[in-house]
Amino acid sequence: MVLEVTAINPDEKDAEKQVLFTTRKNYWEIGKDLQQRMRYGAWQIKEIVDLTLQPLQTRKEQYLIHFDTDVEKVEIEATLSYFISGGKGDVVYSTTKMLEYELD
């Protein structure tokens, strides 16, 4: 699973300055170590998942993002993707929020 969070300034004309923040968090497969070697068989992994993940369980992530003082609008996009094998992944969940600020 991969979580990608991006903050974009939609009012910025320059494409290079448009992205204000981006991060990516990888959640590793159960049964594999950091060198991608298998440590458990498929049936053992299934038992671990069945016994440890509760239905509708969620995990919250928080990111502290600092913007320039002249930014009035920010579009935050979060996408959670599931990669079955290699580079082919499917989007499990995606959301976009527009934040607007009043400048004094």
Q: pLDDT per residue over 23-74, tens digit each?
A: 998 876 666 666 767 677 777 777 766 666 566 767 778 999 888 888 889 9
> How many structural domains does the chain have?
1
Q: Max alpha carbon distance in the chain (Å)?
A: 60
- Against a cut of 0.75, is the pTM above it? no
Query: Residue 81: which domain range?
Result: 2-100
DSSP state of 4: E
**Under 8 Å between Cβ of 81 and 25:** no
Q: How far is CA 27 from CA 48, 51, 100, 101, in A?
A: 16, 18, 31, 33
Most confidently modeled of 10-14, 67-71, 93-97?
93-97
